[in-house]
């Protein structure tokens, strides 16, 4: 706990709300949080360096959002990757009414979200000598691109669901084919058994026929029924094979669409990284060559 002053988060939260104006509405967002994860380059660093990273990050957040508004700064070391949970009351000064008020939409603006990671990165590079690679590792996407990435992910999930349904359909048809093949085998076996049985009944010890005419007609009727079942099973089997071929072709088309969409998504991410790198280069050029630290968002 980087705010170990003897108080707890809830008391600090309530105390700050008592000092500022806050509308009495259920949809007012009176608490905001940032979660900052330790960079990969520092995962094997000594505890002192990791601690310094989180303390410097907390100082940056205090300066950006006001130390008087901070209600919690807690580092979690007991999970996969160490990370900081920083919570604060989003407070701005209301010029018209000359008072401080809670307003998340005026604190966490689009511009604030767009510049947050780069500003934090620059601050850490200034105060931490061991901090080199930075938090901008191409895993942090620009704020305005998140919606487009989500759109692609939604399309991916829809395609995955469609693929799963088609594969289930294929498995069901394959099971039917297996049953049909088994039925054909049983029909063939029955035909052979009837033929053998007819031969056994055709002769006695003296080589004379003992099978009665009505018995022969009965066996012929059974054999005709079995042959009819055989033809029907063969017909159904052929239809199922054709359907299976169509389903496999549909599956190949869907898989091709999925691959094309995946490649488009990768190309989009590559363009984003290139644009991000160009943005950093232009900012660096403006700062170092022309002395321009800030430019209006418009």
- Contact between 247 and 166 under an 8 Å Cβ cutoff? The reply is yes
C-alpha radius of gyration, the chain, whole number: 38
Give yes or no: residues 52 and 159 share one domain.
Answer: no
Separation of first and last alpha carbons in the chain: 39
In the predicted model, what is the mean pLDDT of residues 8-31? 91
Choose the most confident range, by mean pLDDT, from 99-113, 204-218, 269-283: 99-113
Share of the chain above pLDDT 70, in %: 72
pLDDT at 205: 47
**How does pLDDT run across 23-70, given as a tens digit for each residue?**
988 889 999 999 999 988 888 889 999 999 999 999 999 999 999 999
Give yes or no: residues 214 and 235 share one domain.
Answer: yes
Q: Place 215 in a pLDDT band, splitting at 50, 70 and 90.
A: low
CA distance 177 to 241: 8
Give yes or no: residues 267 and 168 share one domain.
Answer: yes
Give yes or no: residues 91 and 188 share one domain.
Answer: no
- Domain span holding position 247: 148-289
In the predicted model, what is the mean pLDDT of residues 148-156? 69
In the predicted model, what is the mean pLDDT of residues 220-239? 65
Give yes or no: residues 136 and 171 share one domain.
Answer: no
Q: How many C-beta atoms lie closer than 10 Å to residue 90's C-beta?
A: 19
Site of tokens 């660096």: 284
Which parts of the chain fold into alpha helices (H)?
Answer: 9-19, 47-65, 104-107, 110-127, 146-202, 213-290
- Whole-prediction pTM: 0.50
Q: Place 228 in a pLDDT band, splitting at 50, 70 and 90.
A: low
Give yes or no: residues 201 and 254 share one domain.
Answer: yes
CA distance 131 to 192: 84
Is residue 187 one of the residues assigned to a domain? yes
**How does pLDDT run across 85-105, given as a tens digit for each residue?**
999 999 999 999 899 999 999
Give yes or no: residues 96 and 198 share one domain.
Answer: no
Where residue 262 sits, what CATH number does that domain have? 1.10.287
Give yes or no: residues 116 and 246 share one domain.
Answer: no
Q: How many structural domains are present in the chain?
A: 2
């Amino acid at each position: 706990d980087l705010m170990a002053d003897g108080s707890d988060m809830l008391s600090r939260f309530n105390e700050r709300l008592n000092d500022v104006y806050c509308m009495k509405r259920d949809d007012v967002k009176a608490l905001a949080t940032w979660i900052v994860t330790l960079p990969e380059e520092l995962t094997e660093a000594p505890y002192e360096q990791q601690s310094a990273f989180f303390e410097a990050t907390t100082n940056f957040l205090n300066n950006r959002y006001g130390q008087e508004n901070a209600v919690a700064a807690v580092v979690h070391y007991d999970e996969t990757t160490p990370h900081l949970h920083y919570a604060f009351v989003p407070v701005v000064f209301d010029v018209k009414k000359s008072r401080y008020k809670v307003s998340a939409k005026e604190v966490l603006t689009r511009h604030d979200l767009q510049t947050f990671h780069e500003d934090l990165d620059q601050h850490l590079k200034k105060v931490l000598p061991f901090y080199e690679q930075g938090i901008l590792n191409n895993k942090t996407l620009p704020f305005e691109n998140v919606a487009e990435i989500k759109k692609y992910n939604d399309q991916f999930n829809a395609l995955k669901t469609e693929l799963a349904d088609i594969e289930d359909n294929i498995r069901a048809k394959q099971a039917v084919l297996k049953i049909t093949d088994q039925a054909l085998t049983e029909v063939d076996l029955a035909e052979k058994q009837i033929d053998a049985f007819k031969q056994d009944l055709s002769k006695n010890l003296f080589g004379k026929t003992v099978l009665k005419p009505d018995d022969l007609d009965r066996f012929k009727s059974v054999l005709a029924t079995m042959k009819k079942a055989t033809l029907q099973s063969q017909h159904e089997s052929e239809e199922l094979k054709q359907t299976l071929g169509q389903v496999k072709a549909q599956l190949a088309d869907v898989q091709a669409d999925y691959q094309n969409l995946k490649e488009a998504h990768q190309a989009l991410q590559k363009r984003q990284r290139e644009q991000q790198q160009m943005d950093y280069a232009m900012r660096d050029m403006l700062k170092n060559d022309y002395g321009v630290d800030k430019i209006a968002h418009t």
